[in-house]
Amino acid sequence: MSRIGKAPIEIPEGVTIDIKGDVVTVKGKKGELTQEVKGPITCKIDDGVLTLERADEKKPTKSLHGLYRALIANMVEGVLNGYTIKQELVGVGYRAKVSGQTLELALGYSHPIVMMLPPEVKVSTETTKGKNPTITLESHDKQLIGQVASKIRSFRKPEPYKGKGIRFAGEQIRRKAGKAAGK
């Protein structure tokens, strides 16, 4: 991780970074994110470039160096362009419906699954005849959108025999053969 930590972060046009003590705040057109940088890691801004420096060469310090650099780089990318995750519902009768910040899923259970989404995540669904229903999540916070997508997927993980379940768009599921044919 130490090589990742040494890479500088370019601050693009339209993004402002504010450092107050251990808290780094990144503002852009998509929103605002904050991250607390703990430990022996310090942040400095020079000529539109943010660099992170570590106090010593110990292994935990090196890993924190790379971690915080990656988190701040993701924050800069998020407030500038945002993140999008698409998921497909594969299975007969699987449906998704959105009303406001509530996502309602029909996944083959005896009851619908209703999930309240955080206000930072925008969700939309698309159902096209002949194709699997899709859920599209958009947010400026990479960690939050990943957690929400993971939670949605956990309601019905893809199974290896028929391939049914919630999968990320473009994800390949390893299929198994199933029972061997009779004698």
pLDDT of 2: 56
Angle, CA of 46, 50 and 54, to the nearest 5°: 105
Distance in angstroms (rounded) separating the CA atoms of residues 159 and 29: 40
pLDDT of 103: 97
pLDDT of 181: 57
DSSP state at residue 14: T
Q: What tokens does 126 get?
A: 């698309």
pLDDT of 183: 54
What are the structural domains of the chain? 2-80 (3.90.930.12), 83-168 (3.90.930.12)
- Helix, strand, coil percentages in the chain from 3-state DSSP, rounded to 5: 20, 35, 40
CB 93 within 8 A of CB 108: yes
pLDDT of 159: 93
Burial class (CB in 10 A: 0-12, 13-18, 19+), 163: middle
pLDDT of 39: 83
pLDDT of 177: 87
Q: What is the pTM of this model?
A: 0.90
Q: Which regions of the chain are under pLDDT 70?
A: 1-2, 181-183
